[in-house]
Chain A
Amino acid sequence: MNLLLKLAGSVALAASLMVPALAQTVTVPGQSTTATYMDYMKTVYARAAGSDMIQIGLTAFDKDFNLTPIAAESWSQSADGLTWTFKIRPELNWSDGEPLTAEDFVFALQHAATTGYDFAWYWSFAGGIKNWDDVTAGKADVSTLGLKAVDDKTLEVTTTAPKPYLPSVVSLWYPVPKHQFDKYGEEWSTNVETIVSSGPWVVKEWVKSNNTVTLAKNPEYQGPWKPEIDEVVLDSSLGLPEVGVPAFLAGDVDMTSLNTGQVAMMRQRFADQIHTNPVFATQYISFDLEKAPFDNTDVRRAFYYAINRDELTSTVLKDIAIPAHSILPPGFPGYSENVAKQAVFDPEKAKELLAKAGYPNGEGFPSIEIWFREEGGYNGAILPPMAQYLQSQFKQILGVTMNIKVMPGKDWMEGMLARKNNIYLAPYEYDYLDPSNFYGLFYNGGRHTYHIAAYDELVKQADSASSWDERVNLYEQAEQVMIDQGLIVPLTHPVTMNVVSDKLGGDAMTPNKQGFYPNWSGYVYTHLTKN
């Protein structure tokens, strides 16, 4: 008996000693170098890495962009389409054991609406929450917002107009722990000791000098998408590929992004480990529709046909982007092949259209100057060489002389809104996964002061139609108006290239239907394994 006890004790001791050794830690680049709060509902632009992993949204998207219930187990829409009821899973708790309630969600948005949330526009533009604008402007009391905790687990949202895509909008609605806020105020999300989680991860460590955050499994978490690995280290100092690639080569990290210069070498060495991730963004040319020479539809359409997008992406941009044939990127909900197939490279048609507009071979066409903004990241890598390519392409095919002006972001945006120039190179990245996000850019003035009655009417109808198929059909018609009137010239959709360790596995490491690998943190790190 003693022998058996000793044996069992030895096995237990050996097992306990092995646990730390078996802990699976995945080290990847962090998202942010300027982190202030670890609370997505306090700040989006200065949030710490992991803010959107430690809390759960009401909904989320899987790797094929299917909307999935997360904190909400179900939802329903009222007959008039204006009120939504979300049922929160009863089993969900905060990491300190307190129950997660509808009030935590209401508090999150009420607080955001009144304290200068830098993403507040989203809840008006995308969410359409009743009284949102009046409350954020200080004209109405916060209690008048279209938000209500019916009971502990039932949340009611009222919108100003029918918003058929609200369930996807609320994927970015994360709860704020009211009980913790009451104790510590805004600072609850600035220290590891006071941060509590509703999601699959808890913050284990946060090194602020280089914004490195270590997340560990949340033992309290009972919702969907439970993690398989034990820890994720989000190291913001790995954000630069120049730092990440040597660390990856030495086996210190499990994934790093690649810059243009590194792609060829890494493809050669790690052919099966290069993952291309979609960025739901589009770079396009926009015009001032009322200023010559772009007040002529044929001129604008000539530019549409004068671009060899395949050559642009494969040679000039070395595959850090894919050709854009519509405002919606491939794979984005509502993407239409019918629309995309029209944006072809047709130099003869381009010349014909320009001649029809009164500028045969570009004769008499005024010298133009395209404006684009200085940026970092993938836009910074794409825009300058693309502008030069367009410059030579327009000269060669259309006989048009186009100069290039690079501007600080703020000046560029002000210039575009004030219509100081007639042609712009514009990037836009999605904020929520619904076609209304992209089409809203051109709706009734929007980003480019376009007022095209036919387009506005179609988008308006699509924005409030309740059937998904009907909406997609209406958006497709709206984009046809854009094409026919040459409102924009779609150019590229950026992609990011990562090299990942062959030790990583799981569903996050298998490509989706479009051949892309998911890169949204909520899904990826809960669907990841490590050998």
Chain B
Amino acid sequence: MIVYLIKRLLSVAVTFFIVSLVIFLMMHAVPGGPFTEKDMPLSEAVKAALNARLGLDKPLWVQYVNYMAGVLQGNWGVPYQSPGETVISLLQQAWLPSLILGGSGVIIGAALGILIGMAAALKRNSWIDYLASTLSVLGLTIPVFVISMLLILIFAVWLNWLPASGWGKPERWILPIAAYAAIPLATYARYTRSAMLDTLNRPFVTALRAKGLSETRIIFQHVLRNSAIPMVTVFLPMFMGTATGSIFVEAMFRIPGLGSYFVSSITNRDYPLEMALVLMFTIGICFAYLISDLVYAWLNPRIRLGDDAQ
């Protein structure tokens, strides 16, 4: 297990450096730079002075080495957009709304999706099953900004039950959380339904029934646990996905989260901010998969990690 963990952590480190190198090169390969895309371009002398101050006049490999040396020491640089801040201080102000809304959306969506999926599997071919399938298809096919718009129109404009947008008071969180929850709900409803149907048809379930175990016990203690394995693997990556998925939800609901930085850092060629967002996301995704695998093994003892991995 320890050997497995060490190997995985090494692979995280390798992935981190490969991603950092690829992103760094891609950022600089895109024509233009932080000071060339303005309506009223600066003079060459001023541009040169700015580039020198930010180290952009150095060879690319020197810039990369300097940047990564800073990152390894915990210094993610100063964003060009906000020179009075550091990248970390800027992101610190924005991560909480994204975490609260995205996290709640995924947890609530997953929980509801599991319940709907279970109901659909247990009542196969009934109206519940058809309704669950319809909900899943709608959740997966309607773009999140359309869902956001519909939620605002129905609950804020027509019914006037909730505020349409903004941040601060908990009642402002309800609609964006609902918008965030749509995809996890649809995904989990589908996953749960198919996984449970698959498990229900296995011989061990028939054996359990023959032994006289109650249906409730069979479902919750055996079927659900066996069906949970594929669902666990998608949970944390989906949770991380809210970071990038937040662009539209945060824009529609005017939430001061990370979403706008994903767009503005690219359009403004704000290299430090862009690198930090991508690298932090990379670390997050790597650890999400690592934790998923560990939970996977815990749920299914037949799966062994490490040298004797099957």
Cα distance, A252 to B47, chains bound together (Å): 42
Known contacts A247-B164, A250-B156, A250-B160; A33 and B264 CB within 8 A of each other: yes
**CB closest residue in chain A, given B97:** A209
A34 lies within 8 A of B157 (CB):
no
**Which residues of the partner chain A approach B43 to less than 8 Å between Cβ atoms?**
116, 136-137
Q: List A contacts of B132 (CB < 8 A).
A: none
Instruction: Answer yes or no: B109 CB below 8 A from chain A CBs.
Output: no
Flag the segment in B202-210, B231-239, B249-257 that touches A: B249-257
Specify which chain B residues have a CB less than 8 angstroms from the CB of A249 in the assembled complex: 153, 156-157, 164
Max count, chain B CB within 10 A of own CB: residue among A36, A190, A191, A211 = A36
Q: From DSSP, what is the main secondary structure of chain A's interface residues?
A: loop
Which of A237-245, A259-267, A302-310, A470-478 contacts its partner? A237-245
In whole angstroms, what is the CA distance A116 to B46 when docked?
5
Cβ–Cβ contact A119 & B40, under 8 A = yes
Give the contact-size bracket for chain B: 35 or more
Q: CA of A250 to CA of B172 in the docked complex: distance in angstroms?
A: 12
User: Total number of A-B contacts with CB less than 8 angstroms?
Assistant: 113
In whole angstroms, how far apart are the Cα atoms of A189 and B160 in the complex?
A: 40
Q: Please report the C-alpha to C-alpha distance between residue A115 and residue B82 in the assembled complex, in whole angstroms.
A: 17
Given A190-B82, A246-B157; A118-B40 close (CB under 8 Å): yes
**Complex: how many Å from CA A121 to CA B90?**
32
Interface residue ranges of B131-156 to A (CB < 8 Å): 149, 152-153, 156
Q: In the complex, are the beta carbons of A252 and B84 less than 8 A apart?
A: no
Give chain B nearest CB distance to A267 CB in angstroms.
18
In this complex, what residue of B is CB-closest to A115? B46
B40 touches A208 (CB 8 A): no
Report A402-431 residues with CB < 8 Å from chain B CB.
409
Whether A210 lies near B156 (C-beta < 8 A) is no
Alpha-carbon separation in the docked complex, A509 to B270 (Å): 39
A401 to chain B, nearest CB (A): 33
**Complex: how many Å from CA A212 to CA B94?**
13
- Whether the Cβ atoms of B40 and A210 lie closer than 8 Å is no
Instruction: Tell me if A235 counts as interface (CB < 8 A to partner B).
Output: yes
Q: Say if the beta carbon of A186 comes within 8 Å of chain B.
A: yes
Least distance between A96 CB and chain B CB atoms (Å): 18
Name the B residues within 8 Å of A240 (CB-CB). 251
Chain A proximity mask over B246-281: 1 for CB below 8 Å, otherwise 0: 000011101111101100100110000000000000
Bound state CA distance, A251 and B166, in angstroms?
12
Taking a contact as CB atoms under 8 Å apart, the answer to whether A36 and B82 are in contact is yes
Q: How far is B39's CA from A209's CA once the two chains are assembled, in angstroms?
A: 23
Q: Which residues of B contact A116 (CB under 8 A)?
A: 42-43, 45-47, 49-50
The smallest C-beta distance from A408 to any residue of chain B, in angstroms, reads: 10
Q: How far is the CA of A71 from the CA of B65 in the complex (A)?
A: 50
- B163 CB–A CB distance under 8 Å: yes
Q: Quick check: B40 and A36 within 8 Å, CB to CB?
A: no
Question: Given contacts A118-B38, A118-B42, A191-B84, is CB(A243)–CB(B264) below 8 Å?
Answer: no
Q: How far is A136 from B46 in the complex, measured between Cα atoms in Å?
A: 9
The distance in angstroms between the C-alpha atoms of A503 and B302, with both chains bound, is: 67
A138 near B: Cβ within 8 Å? yes
B226 within 8 A of A: no
Does A230 belong to the interface (CB within 8 Å)? no
A461 CA / B288 CA spacing, docked (Å): 72
How many residues does chain A have at the interface if contact means C-beta atoms less than 8 Å apart? 41
CB distance from A478 to the nearest CB of B (A): 26
In the assembled complex, the Cα of A35 lies from the Cα of B81 at a distance in Å of 7
Residues of B within 8 A of A118 (CB): 38, 40, 42
Partner of B149, one of A35, A211, A235, A246: A246
Contacts of B260 in A (CB 8 A): 33, 209-211, 237
Nearest B residue to A114 by beta-carbon distance?
A: B46
Task: State whether the Cβ of A369 lies closer than 8 Å to any Cβ in chain B.
Answer: no
- B93 in contact with A208 (CB, 8 Å): yes
1/0 contact trace for B174-214 toward A, CB 8 Å? 00000000000000000000000000000000000000000
- Chain A residue nearest to B45 in the complex (CB): A138
Quick check: is A207 within 8 A (CB to CB) of the other chain?
yes
Per-residue interface assignment for chain A, residues 18 to 49, with 1 indicating a CB less than 8 Å from any chain B CB and 0 otherwise: 00000000000000011111000000111000
- B83 contacts partner chain A, Cβ-Cβ < 8 Å: yes
Contacts of B94 in A (CB 8 A): 208-209
Assess whether A507 is interfacial by the CB under 8 Å rule: no
Q: Which residue of A lies closest to B84 (CB)?
A: A190
A211 — nearest CB in chain B belongs to which residue?
Answer: B260
B90 near A208 with CB under 8 A, answer yes
Instruction: Say yes or no: A250 contacts B152, CB within 8 Å.
Output: yes
How near does chain A come to B87, taking the closest CB pair, in angstroms?
12
Which residue of A is nearest B148, CB measured?
A246
Contact of A237 among B81, B93, B254 (CB under 8 A): B254
B165 interface residue (CB < 8 Å to A):
yes
B215 at the interface (CB under 8 A from A): no
Give every chain B residue within 8 A of A237 (Cβ-Cβ): 250-251, 254, 260
Question: Does any Cβ of A come within 8 Å of B80's Cβ?
Answer: yes
Given contacts A116-B43, A240-B251, contact A252 B164 (CB under 8 A): yes
Partner of A36, one of B81, B93, B261: B81
Contacts of A37 in B (CB 8 A): 83
A250-B163 in contact (CB<8A) = yes
Measured CA separation A11–B152 after assembly (Å)? 41
B164 and A34 form a contact (CB under 8 A)? no
The answer to whether B254 and A247 have CB atoms under 8 Å apart is yes
Whole-angstrom CA separation of A13 from B81 in the bound complex: 45
The CB with the most chain A CB atoms within 10 A, among B156, B165, B251, B267, is that of: B165
CA distance A406 to B147 in the complex (A): 33
Instruction: Note all chain A residues with C-beta closer than 8 A to B82.
Output: 36, 190, 208
Residues of B within 8 A of A189 (CB): 84
Q: Does A187 contact B (CB under 8 A)?
A: yes
Q: CA separation between A37 and B163, bound complex, in Å?
A: 31
Contact between chains at B40 and A190 (CB < 8 Å): no
Chain A CB within 8 A of B85 CB:
yes
A203 to chain B, nearest CB (A): 13
Q: A38: nearest residue on chain B (CB-CB)?
A: B84
Q: Which of B163, B251, B256, B268 contacts A212 (CB 8 A)?
A: B256
CB–CB A187/B268 < 8 A:
no
Q: A137 CA to B46 CA in the complex, in Å?
A: 9
Inter-subunit contact A208/B85 (CB<8 Å): yes
Q: Which of B93, B163, B267 contacts A252 (CB 8 A)?
A: B163
Q: In the complex where A119-B40, A246-B149 touch, is A209 in contact with B164 (Cβ < 8 A)? A: no
Within 8 A of A (CB), among B38-79: 38-40, 42-43, 45-47, 49-50
Q: Once the chains bind, are A187 and B84 in contact (CB under 8 Å)?
A: yes
Expressed in whole angstroms, the Cα–Cα distance for A237 and B166 within the complex equals 10
Which 9 interchain pairs have the tightest Cβ spacing?
A190-B84, A116-B46, A250-B164, A250-B156, A209-B94, A187-B84, A237-B254, A246-B152, A249-B157
Q: Which residues of B contact A (CB under 8 A)?
A: 38-40, 42-43, 45-47, 49-50, 80-85, 90, 93-94, 149, 152-153, 156-157, 160, 163-166, 250-252, 254-258, 260-261, 264, 267-268
Contact sample, A vs B, 24 pairs, CB 8 Å cutoff: A33-B260, A34-B267, A35-B81, A45-B40, A116-B45, A116-B50, A118-B38, A136-B43, A186-B83, A187-B84, A190-B84, A191-B85, A194-B84, A208-B94, A209-B90, A209-B261, A211-B260, A212-B254, A237-B254, A238-B254, A242-B149, A246-B152, A249-B156, A252-B164
List 13 extra interface pairs beyond A33-B264, A34-B267, A34-B268, CB under 8 A. Answer: A36-B81, A45-B38, A46-B38, A190-B85, A208-B85, A208-B90, A210-B257, A237-B250, A243-B165, A246-B156, A246-B252, A250-B156, A250-B163
